[in-house]
Amino acid sequence: MVDWVRSFLSDYKECASKLISTPRERIPVDNIWRPQDIGLYKVNCDAAVNVSTCTIGIGIVIRDSTGFVLVACSQKKIVASYFAQLAETVAILKGFQFAKDCGLTPFFLESDAVVVVKWINEGSHFNLACGVILSDISKLSLEMGGISIKHIPRLTNNVANGHC
């Protein structure tokens, strides 16, 4: 068991160092919130990392097709030393679980974490430090009929940002 933990930690550090040095993609900014199709719920989620206190916060908001907020939740000051992509990955997983637990399906999910959304949509996450969580998200998505996950600009995700 100890050898497995050391190996996992070594792999984690290697992947994390690659993530930090990866340049960010430029995305055209469209800051207008758009309603979803009738009969679909929209799940917005976000995470915030406070490196100095080793805490993260997660915010989730679920709206109907008119934009009316049906439910929201937040978890603040979770003691964890996650890097930003891992915190955002946890927020997306929590968004899936929250929508499922509330019975608000079908839905699609939006996040301002462009890299994480790309990993999920491309299925290119198996060798990453957060690969297990990303695999859980992919499995949940398939179990629920193929939930769409979209990237949105940070300014469009303000309602979820405010809950972190």
Tens of pLDDT, residue by residue over 7-46, are 544 554 555 554 444 444 544 445 555 666 678 899 999 9
Task: Please tell me what DSSP assigns to residue 156.
Answer: G
Phi, psi dihedrals of residue 109, rounded to the nearest 5°? -120, 140
What is the CATH number that goes with domain 33-161? Answer: 3.30.420.10
Preceding omega of 23 cis (within 30 degrees of 0): no
Distance of CA 61 to the CA centre of its chain: 12
Domain locations along the chain: 33-161
Distance of CA 14 to the CA centre of its chain: 22
Q: In 3-state terms, the chain is what percent helix, strand and coil (to 5)?
A: 40, 25, 35
pTM of the full predicted structure? 0.72
* Distance separating alpha carbons of residues 86 and 106, to the nearest angstrom: 25
Q: What is the pLDDT of residues 77-130, one digit of tens each?
A: 777 767 888 899 999 999 999 999 999 989 999 999 999 999 888 887 666 778
* Distance separating alpha carbons of residues 8 and 6, to the nearest angstrom: 5
Cβ atoms of 19 and 124 closer than 8 Å: no
Which residues does residue 69 pair with via DSSP β-bridges, in sequence order? 63
From start to end of 14-144, where are the E strands?
A: 41-50, 55-63, 69-79, 107-111
Task: Please tell me what DSSP assigns to residue 157.
Answer: G
Average pLDDT over residues 126-140: 84
